[in-house]
Amino acid sequence: MSVPRLIGSEIFRRSGYGAWHPLRVPRVSTVLDLSRALGWLPSDRYIVAPRAKPAALTLWHSPDYIAALERAEAAQAVSEAERGRYGLGTPSNPVFPEMYRRPATGAGGSLLAGELLAKGGVIYHPAGGTHHGMPARAGGFCYLNDPVLAILSLRRAGVGRIAYVDIDAHHPDGVEVAFADDPQTLMISVHEERRWPFTGGLQDRGGGNVFNLPVPRDFNDTEMAAVLDRLILPRVAAFRPEAVVLQCGADAVEEDPLSRLSLSNNAHWAVVAALAPLSPRYLVLGGGGYNPWSVGRLWTGVWATLNGLDIPDRLPEAGAAVLRGLSWTGSRRGKAPPAHWFDTLRDAPRPGPLRDELRDRLAALEKREPP
Ligand SMILES: [Zn+2]
């Protein structure tokens, strides 16, 4: 199998959603800077994401919505009617200078990943993972749905059975809309219960291949290990996928401001590593993650995990300098970050009890027969 490759773009460094939006923080640029500082990203392993053309986006999105998104970027404004119809120009999905080009670059990376994986391999696209986008509507900070486009791109490249696993704190409502009834797609999502978008119930099964596990507050590393062993790995292995797409959002960690889950980044890396041997094609996407240090450390560790690199206990100075250069304006937690956010990648593990409610939900999903 070929060596893993990373897809990125400088547009994610230069653009943000505005001064008060959770996505004002740098994320992908930290992964690039930190990986390069550690010597983990030689230039021949890096692929610049192309900006998807509007016509390419209509593989799943409606042409009128794509046109409205382009118009909003050009005018830097939306009409009341368009705001209502398309969800553009809202607090979650604001008008900003790159509001078409930035998501179109994320989507372009995912479309390209599907093509590059035709013959097999491993691709990491941390700017991907915008799992809330709908065919004709923005939502949840997502303007387009690049995971859906990645799966459709893989299909177009001749890949049949695809397992989609999502460990973001939020349920991937857009991806479920696209593939819930598709017998060729397995969908597994682990997400915080009673949190926006309030979809992803335990009982949902779509056409039979949908497995949703809502988890309670304070979800810990021990519980994630149980979810991996009892839900994710057995279901993915039994599906015999030709490709695995992992949405590895970084918002289920303890320090994230948008969820109340309590994982350490070790939990995410364990999922990344365990899924790797289960198919000849592996695409790892980013997703949520709103604490700039948590995201940068977690996602850089994903790249190390995909490459089998040792994560040092203490970062060398060049790496620590990247993390010291970050800021998190408007956040209480950003005022006095603890030292380990600068000089380590690995969090201290956050074990805990495997609670009965989670045990019961896992048992309910384990009992389920294939369709
Ligand atoms: Zn999320």
Ligand 1 centroid – CA 370 distance (Å) = 28
Query: What are 23-47's pLDDT values in tens digits?
Result: 999 999 999 999 999 999 999 999 9
Structure tokens at 212: 């949703």
Contact 189, 227 (CB under 8 A): no
- Determine the average pLDDT of the residues in 125-148: 98
Ligand 1 centroid – CA 1 distance (Å) = 31
Quote the strand ranges of 160-199, DSSP E: 162-166, 185-192
Q: Is the pLDDT of residue 289 over 90?
A: yes
Does 132 participate in catalysis according to the annotation?
A: yes
The active-site residue, picked from 61, 131, 132, 191, is 132
Question: What band does 188 get if pLDDT is binned at 50, 70 and 90?
Answer: very high
Report the chain's terminal Cα–Cα distance, integer Å: 33
For domain 5-367, the CATH architecture is 3-Layer(aba) Sandwich (3.40)
The pLDDT of residue 371 is: 63
- Determine the average pLDDT of the residues in 296-309: 98
Ligand 1 centroid – CA 44 distance (Å) = 31
Ligand 1 centroid – CA 141 distance (Å) = 9
Torsion of CA 70, 75, 80, 84, to 10 degrees: 20
Cβ within 8 Å of residue 176, ≥6 positions away: 187, 189, 199, 200, 204, 206, 210
Contact 17, 94 (CB under 8 A): yes
Query: What are 217-234's pLDDT values in tens digits?
Result: 999 999 999 999 999 999
Contact 22, 290 (CB under 8 A): yes
Question: What band does 255 get if pLDDT is binned at 50, 70 and 90?
Answer: very high
Question: What band does 139 get if pLDDT is binned at 50, 70 and 90?
Answer: very high
Ligand 1 centroid – CA 250 distance (Å) = 7
Ligand 1 centroid – CA 226 distance (Å) = 21
Residue in 243, 296, 217, 36 with CA at minimum distance from that of residue 120: 243
Number of H helices, E strands in the chain: 15, 8
Contact 116, 49 (CB under 8 A): no
The pLDDT of residue 28 is: 98
Round the average pLDDT of the chain to a whole number and report it: 97
Residues with CB under 5 A from ligand 1 (ion): 168-170, 249, 251, 288
Run of H or E residues at 295: helix 292-306
Run of H or E residues at 214: strand 210-215
pTM over 0.95: yes
